[in-house]
Structure formats: C-alpha cells, structure tokens
DNA sequence: TATATTATTGCAATATTGTTGCATTAAAGA
DNA sequence: TCTTTAATGCAACAATATTGCAATAATATA
C-alpha cells in the first residue's frame, strides 16, 4: 500500500506542524482553507498515525485529538509517553514535556499510554 | 435534590461492587438480570459519580467506564489518581494500584487525571 | 508523452455512544 | 393516606467516527 502525495494530505500535515496543540477533526476542518470531507480527514489522520507521523490522544470528552509532537521525535529522549493537558477554559489539548512514569505488575504488557490531565492551563489561570 | 433508593440503583451498585473491573453502560445492561433502560443506567451512574461513589474512566475507545474503587476509599492513601489498565485481549479495564505521578509547570492547575495504559493483562499474557 | 494501476477522495449511509424532553411512576416525608 | 418530587421509560436527538462504493487523480510504466 504505497502512499501518494495529495493537497489534502499536505494541508492537514502543515496545519498540524504549525499548531502547538493537538487538534480534533472538526478543528482541522474549521481551520483549513480548502474544503475537505470529514471522512477524508479521518482517513488522512489515521494514515499519519499508522506511519507514526502523528499520535492520537483521546480526551475525556471521548473525542480524538491528533498532534505532531516534536518532543516525540527527539532521539535522545527515551520517553515514549508524555502527559497531555486539556484546558477546560480554552478547550485545547497540548503535549506536555512531563513524561509518564509507571510500573505495572509482572505479567502486564503495556503497548500504549493515554494520559490526559484536565484543568486550567497557564494562559487561562 | 434528595436521593431515593430504587431497585435500579441498588442493582447497578451491587454489580459494580461485585466487579473487579470498570464497566461500561452496555456491559452493565448485559450483566443485569432486570431490564433497565439505557438512559436510566447513565443517569444512575452519573449520580453515583456526583456523589463520589463511583469514578469514571474514558478509554481510548472513547467509551466511558465506571468503577467503584476500594483503593480510592482508603483514607490512608493520599493518592488521588491511579492508572487504569485496558486489556485489548479480554477487553476489560481495571484500576491499578499504581499511582499517577506528575508535575506540571507553574500556572497549570490540575483538576482531574485520566490515565489509561493499554496492552495485555496478566490473565491474557 | 500516453496509459494503466490503484491510492485517494467525496458522498451518503450507518454504527455507536451518550444526552435530553416529557409524561408517568413511585419513594419518602408530612 | 396524601403530597411532593426524584426516578424512570420512551423516543428523539446530537455528536463522533467508520464504511461501501463510485469517481478522481497520483504515480509508475510502456
């Protein structure tokens, strides 16, 4: 399944690259200049996730948010997972530098961590 | 807004009390002997949450899960938040004793933490 | 450059989860 | 027993996300 470059893909990627926050599908649709179908946006985002370009966070509102996290790409950092912060005031989600530290009993195998702190962010407090 | 005791309330509470795992609305509906309307189950659960009898976890499947966590009630433990583990194999969510440890930059105020580890649990590995 | 292959897209339909309005029922105090 | 109003069932609704299918277009190949 080879990937092809399309204006859609490029537009979504650029939006994410220029955003300091994680974005939901509807936020992406709203912020894009061009009109892209909802289903297409989801498909593009899911493909990005498959290719490890983007990571997905599910907040307690049950919605999916997507982010390109530059910190993730830092090869020095072994930190695989980091906290996310959801501000209830400005309704944004951002990647925090704070790593997720945990230990699980033997027998448990962790494949992913989805950790969201909720509250008021620096800008809104 | 006084609360009243009803068979529904009692049934849901007993189910949660006897469950070692966090349950979703549909799981509760399935496991109950009596037939209870979906909306009612949600209302009962949300009331339990308001009364701090139960806590709610949102997993990466976007679904809400509810649990009575005995560990939460231990007054010795200052631990407010703990990790949850979602097993992809048996599709359950359980409360872990592992506390969530984090620090946020000044200016951020944390009101809640929703942390779910995903993978394979002890029973399934 | 023209053509063939097939990844990508838009559209509509569908599934799932959760909430809300409203009339009815029933718990609990007077 | 009567009154108050919390709780319930039902249907409708809202929001999020996915899927099938036909049409389109990116890319490799001739």
How high is the ipTM of this complex? 0.91
Give me the phi and psi of A35, to 5 degrees please: -90, 120
**Any idea which nucleotide's C1' is nearest the CA of A6?**
D26
Mean pLDDT, range A12-26, rounded to an integer: 96
Tell which residue, B31, B111, B14, B116, has the closest CA to residue B65: B116
Structure tokens at A26: 């509807």
Confidence of residue A75 (pLDDT cuts 50, 70, 90): low
- What is residue A79's predicted lDDT score, i.e. its pLDDT? 54
Q: What tens-digit pLDDT sequence spans chain B (125 residues)?
A: 789 999 999 999 999 999 999 999 999 999 999 999 999 999 999 999 999 999 999 999 999 999 997 766 665 554 578 999 999 888 899 999 889 999 999 999 999 999 999 999 998 88
Q: How far is CA A37 from the centre of its chain?
A: 20
Q: Is A79 on the interface with B (CB under 8 A)?
A: no
For residue A73, the number of C-alpha atoms closer than 13 Å in the C-beta half-sphere is 9
In chain B, where does DSSP find H-type helix?
7-17, 25-31, 38-50, 70-73
**Quick check: A70 pLDDT over 90?**
no
CB contact under 8 A, B98 and A119: no
Tell which residue, A67, A118, A63, has the closest CA to residue B108: A118
- What is residue A78's predicted lDDT score, i.e. its pLDDT? 45
Inter-axis angle of helices A38-50 and A7-17, to 10 degrees? 70
Query: Closest Cα of chain B to A98: distance in Å?
Result: 7
**Quick check: A77 pLDDT over 70?**
no
**Quick check: A20 pLDDT over 80?**
yes
Mean pLDDT, range A74-98, rounded to an integer: 81
Q: Is B85 on the interface with A (CB under 8 A)?
A: yes
Tell which residue, A117, A110, A55, A74, has the closest CA to residue A92: A117
Is B1 near strand C, with its CB below 7 A from some atom of it?
no
Cβ atoms within 10 Å of A104's Cβ, excluding its own: 17
Distances (CA, A) of A41 to A32, A34, B96: 11, 12, 35
Tokens 């936020």: give the residue.
A27
- What is residue B60's predicted lDDT score, i.e. its pLDDT? 94
Q: What is the dihedral of CA B42, B47, B51, B55, to 10 degrees?
A: 10
Interval A105-124: pLDDT, tens: 999 999 999 999 999 999 89
Mean pLDDT, range A82-93, rounded to an integer: 92
Q: Which residues pair with B120 in a beta bridge?
A: A109
Tell which residue, A13, A12, A19, has the closest CA to residue A38: A12
Provide the 8-state DSSP code for B124.
T
Inter-axis angle of helices B38-50 and B7-17, to 10 degrees? 70
**Quick check: A71 pLDDT over 70?**
no
CA dist A11 and A124 (Å) reads 29
| Mean pLDDT of chain A, nearest integer | 91
B48: three-class secondary structure by DSSP: helix
Q: Is B90 on the interface with A (CB under 8 A)?
A: no
Please state the three-class secondary structure of A100-111 as a single string: CECCCCCCCEEE
CA dist A91 and B63 (Å) reads 20
């Amino acid at each position: 399944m080879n990937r092809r470059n399309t204006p859609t893909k490029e537009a979504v990627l650029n939006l994410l690259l220029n955003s300091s926050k994680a974005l939901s599908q509807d936020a992406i649709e709203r912020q894009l200049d061009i009109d892209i179908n909802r289903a297409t946006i989801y498909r593009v985002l899911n493909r990005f996730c498959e290719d490890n370009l983007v990571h997905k966070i599910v907040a307690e509102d049950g919605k999916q948010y997507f982010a390109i996290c530059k910190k993730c790409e830092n090869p020095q950092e072994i930190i695989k997972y980091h906290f996310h912060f959801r501000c209830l005031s400005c309704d944004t989600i951002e990647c925090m530098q704070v790593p997720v530290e945990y230990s699980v009993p033997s027998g448990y195998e962790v494949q992913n961590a989805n950790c969201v702190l909720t509250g008021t962010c620096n800008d809104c407090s």
